[in-house]
Amino acid sequence: MGRRKLRAMSPAETEILRLVWRLEEATVQSICDALPARRTITYKTVQTLLRRLEEKGYLKHRTEGKAHVFVPAVQRERVVKQTVLDFVDRLFGGDPRPLMQFLAEDGHIDAEDIEELRKLIDNA
């Protein structure tokens, strides 16, 4: 797929895509098997989510026997970048500082994280 903008994903679609990335290729059954035991989601629902992700351009598939084997159609880094930038645009008008301030004040980043950020800034 080209560089067109990817359509937004639901939380359930995001969960399934993360599993496909982790497994590198997946069938409906392998996704069902990889879901946490506490996660009650039916085979049919996983199948629907995989189809939606394919329609949105996140996955593609090949057929092996009766099974569809799904593989990522986009790199994780591209999805993360687009999702974070969209989030920052929508919530903060494109300014990342309020997000960083929130993370720092809410305790989601520690001194080690801040040091890593300093290194990234210095290298930018």
* Cα–Cα distance, 72 to 122 (Å, whole number): 33
Q: Please check whether residues 115 and 81 belong to one and the same domain.
A: yes
pLDDT tens-digit series, residues 21-45 = 999 999 999 999 999 989 889 999 9
What CATH number has the domain bearing residue 112?
1.10.4040
User: Looking at residue 70, what is its pLDDT?
Assistant: 98
- Same domain for 92 and 115? yes
Q: What is the pLDDT of residues 12-25, one digit of tens each?
A: 999 999 999 999 99
What is the torsion angle, in degrees rounded to the nearest 10, for the CA atoms of residue 79, residue 17, residue 41 and residue 34? -140
The Cβ-side half-sphere exposure at 10, using a 13 Å CA radius, reads: 9
**Domain assignment of residue 4, yes or no:** no
Residue 66's domain spans which residues? 11-72
Handedness of CA 15, 18, 22, 23 (dihedral sign): positive
